[in-house]
């Protein structure tokens, strides 16, 4: 049986975690800080739990240079839960803004029937949620927005399948995007885990203008967070599951601009939303509730947050330049693998377009001998024999997928690149 040190794991998630952090976590699970209790057994209402949360938040701020006017929330429900939560909360914020605009024109009670009627007309005519569809996850996000709010309120601003023969693998040119004038949010997935497509930078058409204002941008960064420096100030919210680059499955992190939280913005009452024919979020998905309670409205897994904190602390200790140091390593690992694949075009085919191919989820087909199924089966079997595991592509796409998360060491990428070359020449 192979030992942990014999394996280099390239699975798409849950992803590999650093062995030293798991070893320390195992001790903490039995007896945390000589309290006689494991960290998973301490009350989430305790000062110990609050300290774990606050330290993890502080280290995430340091890693990503998050500005002071942003809040960090630890939530549950995964990235899929955030497809709902972002739509609920930002539509609510849109309704609040419209109500204030209309109330400013109609003097009196903001709940007056005239205000409500004008608001209902604005919802029916103007409420839009914009989506940029570039892969399976953004497609699912848009489908959830449509399920909750109806197709009349969802605007597909771009869909890469329409310009790529019905398949994902590109990002449409920004000149073709059909963005709404006053969308409640514009959603995009920064890195499509399934399809191997990554936005190379922040979209120019979504950047704030000289007045600092611009579209309300929400990004899913579940698979490429902490792999590169990001302009946090350009986003209204960023969310990501922990299970790729931060920790185990179970925690979802939301970085949200404080202007969308009380006292700056409050969600409309449930009664108002019902009058407008709009859904209301489960309270556990309401950002202002989570923020007010420092992510402890209900029982949060402090053990999972503890591991997140340890991963962040290790990143800060390893790289004096924080996430930029990790970015250099991530880029180098990806280049090693792509160079090996590109050296044998008669053996391998990279799935996405070169301009948008992911540094994090490297998706390709093996065409050796003309029988892809046989060739890929052999590739996977020989890889496993050499300790290279988790390389099978997503069931919807097939092929090979090497997920280059932060916990994959440089030596692991070198080993994979060497195997790719050897298999091609065998």
Please state, as a whole number, how many other Cβ atoms lie within 10 Å of the Cβ of residue 76. Answer: 17
Q: Is the peptide bond before 263 cis (omega within 30 degrees of 0)?
A: yes
- The DSSP annotation for 166-198 comes to T--S----GGG----TT-SEEEEESEETTTTEE
Burial of 29 (0-12, 13-18, 19+ CB in 10 A): middle
pTM of the model: 0.96
**The domains spanning 6-15+322-425 and 52-305 adopt the same CATH topology:** no
Q: In this structure, what DSSP letter does residue 17 have?
A: -
**By C-alpha distance, which of 407, 389, 390 is closest to 329?**
407
Q: What is residue 252's three-state secondary structure?
A: strand
Please give the Cα distance from 237 to 216 (Å, whole number). 8
How confident is the chain (426 residues) per 10-residue block, as mean pLDDT? 89 94 97 96 95 98 98 97 98 96 77 89 97 98 98 98 96 98 97 97 93 92 98 98 96 98 96 96 97 97 98 97 97 98 98 97 95 96 97 94 97 98 96
Domain boundaries, the chain: 6-15+322-425, 52-305
Q: Quote the CA–CA distance of 141 and 144 in Å, as a whole number.
A: 5
343: its two tokens: 């050296």
- CB distance 232 to 67 below 8 Å: yes
Cα–Cα nearest to 16, from 279, 313, 245, 205: 245
Rounded CA separation 190/179 (Å)? 17
Determine contact, residues 74/278, Cβ cutoff 8 Å.
no
Torsion of CA 173, 176, 181, 182, to 10 degrees: -40
Count the residues in the chain.
Answer: 426
> What is the full DSSP assignment across 267-315?
PPPHHHHHHTT-----GGG-HHHHHHTTT-SS---HHHHHHHHHHHHHH
- 300 is written with which tokens? 């949060």
Rounded CA separation 308/32 (Å): 16
CA 154 remoteness from chain centre: 21
- Spatial separation of the C-alpha atoms in residues 225 and 243, rounded to whole Å: 11
Q: What are phi and psi of 50, to 5 degrees?
A: -60, -40
What is the predicted pLDDT for the residue at 3? 87
In this structure, what DSSP letter does residue 232 have?
G
Decide: 290 and 75 in contact? Cβ < 8 Å: yes
Q: Provide the pLDDT for residue 108.
A: 66
Q: How far is CA 303 from CA 26, 50, 111, 180, in A?
A: 10, 12, 44, 42
Cα three-residue angle 52-323-258, rounded to 5 degrees:
60
Q: What's the gap between Cα 108 and its chain centre? A: 43
143 vs 85: CA distance, rounded Å: 14
What values do phi and psi take at 129, rounded to 5?
A: -115, 120
Spatial separation of the C-alpha atoms in residues 90 and 289, rounded to whole Å: 14
Q: Which fold has domain 6-15+322-425?
A: 3.90.1150
Task: Classify domain 52-305 at the CATH class level.
Answer: alpha beta
Pairing of strands 154-159, 129-133: parallel
Task: Report how far apart, in Å, the C-alpha atoms of 269 and of each of 106, 184, 276 are.
Answer: 20, 17, 11
Closest listed residue to residue 87, CA positions, set 39, 143, 43, 41: 143
């Amino acid at each position: 049986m192979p030992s942990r040190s014999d394996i280099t794991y390239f699975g798409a998630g849950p992803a590999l975690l650093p062995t030293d952090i798991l070893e320390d976590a195992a001790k903490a699970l039995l007896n945390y800080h000589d309290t006689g209790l494991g960290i998973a057994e301490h009350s989430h209402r305790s000062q110990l739990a609050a300290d774990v949360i606050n330290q993890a938040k502080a280290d995430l701020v340091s890693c990503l240079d998050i500005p002071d006017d942003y809040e960090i929330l630890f939530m549950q429900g995964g990235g899929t839960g955030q497809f709902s939560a972002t739509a609920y909360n930002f539509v609510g914020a849109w309704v609040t803004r419209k109500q204030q605009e209309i109330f400013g024109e109609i003097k009196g009670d903001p709940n007056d029937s005239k205000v409500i009627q004008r608001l209902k007309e604005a919802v029916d005519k103007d409420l839009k949620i914009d989506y940029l569809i570039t892969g399976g996850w953004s497609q699912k996000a848009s489908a959830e927005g449509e399920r909750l709010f109806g197709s009349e309120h969802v605007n597909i601003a771009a869909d890469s399948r329409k310009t790529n023969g019905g398949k994902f693998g590109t990002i449409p040119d920004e000149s073709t995007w059909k963005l709404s004038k006053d969308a409640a949010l514009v959603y995009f997935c920064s890195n499509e885990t399934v399809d191997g497509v990554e936005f190379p930078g922040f979209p120019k058409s979504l950047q704030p203008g000289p007045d600092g204002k611009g579209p309300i941008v929400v990004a899913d960064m579940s698979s490429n967070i902490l792999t590169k420096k990001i302009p946090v100030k350009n986003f209204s919210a960023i969310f990501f599951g922990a299970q790729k680059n931060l920790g185990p499955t179970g925690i979802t992190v939301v970085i949200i601009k404080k202007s969308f939280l009380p006292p700056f913005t409050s969600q409309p009452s449930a009664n108002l939303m019902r009058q407008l024919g709009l859904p209301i979020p489960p309270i556990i998905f309401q950002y202002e509730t989570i923020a007010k309670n420092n992510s402890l409205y209900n029982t949060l897994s402090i053990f999972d947050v503890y591991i997140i904190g340890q991963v962040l602390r290790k990143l800060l200790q390893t790289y004096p330049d924080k996430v930029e140091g990790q970015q250099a390593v991530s880029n180098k690992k990806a280049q090693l693998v792509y160079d090996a694949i590109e050296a044998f075009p008669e053996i391998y085919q990279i799935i996405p377009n070169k301009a948008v191919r992911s540094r994090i989820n490297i998706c390709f087909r093996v065409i050796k001998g003309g029988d892809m199924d046989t060739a890929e089966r052999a590739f996977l079997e020989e890889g496993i024999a050499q300790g290279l595991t988790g390389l099978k592509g997503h069931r919807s796409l097939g092929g090979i997928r090497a997920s280059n998360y932060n916990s994959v060491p440089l030596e692991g990428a070198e080993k994979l690149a060497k195997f790719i070359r050897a298999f091609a020449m065998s």
